[in-house]
Structure 1
Amino acid sequence: MLARLREAHAALAERLTDGGSLGGAGGRQAVHGDAHPGNLLATPAGLLWNDFEECMSAPVEWDLACLLRTTRLDGRAAVRAYGVDPDDPRLSEFVAARGLQGTLWVLARALCFPSEAARARAALETWSRDPSGRTRA
């Protein structure tokens, strides 16, 4: 299975080298990197992002893929509100990459926290069935 995960990573990295085309100049802009509702704080001044360790210059498709994969809200509606068709084929590789990243994150957590092993197995099984990332773990 480790070889399959590595192959998926290498293939996605190669296809995503040129970046996206929905965002700012050259397809890159400042992105949160982990854009889902769990990283928003409701304040008297409005919603504020937190959890910035994944912020970077990247294609906007990365944050849109995060929204499409969240189970905390209707990600398709959120992407439409951004002005992008959630079925735009330019998003598919980013959704797959986000799915792979999430699976690897859960597996890495299980190494530190054995109580997460069942969750890690479930995430790996989900990814194995659908490496396109459309299925949420």
Structure 2
Amino acid sequence: RVVRYLQVVVLLYASTYVLVSLSIDRYHAIVYPMIVIAWSLSFLFSIPTLIIFGKRTLSNGEVQCWALWPDDSYWTPYMTIVAFLVYFIPFICCWSPYFLFDILDNFNLLPDTQERFYASVIIQNLPAL
């Protein structure tokens, strides 16, 4: 019974609530100052939508909102820019601190503190998460 109890404590509840506590900590550290920046960038990057899209009447008389390009050659550069703004740049911003920390840690360029050790353990176990 004790072993089963400890399995439930450690594997089920403790791991879940440690993640919850990390999320709450990240929430307080990141969200409050960053929310204005996130919304500002969202409004800024969406401005081309106001310019590009407009009403188009289809052959059946239905009116829909479409991208109104002078020709189809504009679509590829536009979608490339959108892909960079929505996927690649956020990916780099989210993961580069972990990669940088891991590189600095592997070359022993960080001070030998308890916090560095904890961060190192978390980062090295990210693939398992």
Please, what TM-score do these two structures have when normalized by structure 1? 0.31
Structure 1 or 2: larger helix share? 2
Asked which structure has the greater CA Rg, the reply is 2
Greater RCO, CA 8 A, separation 6+: 1
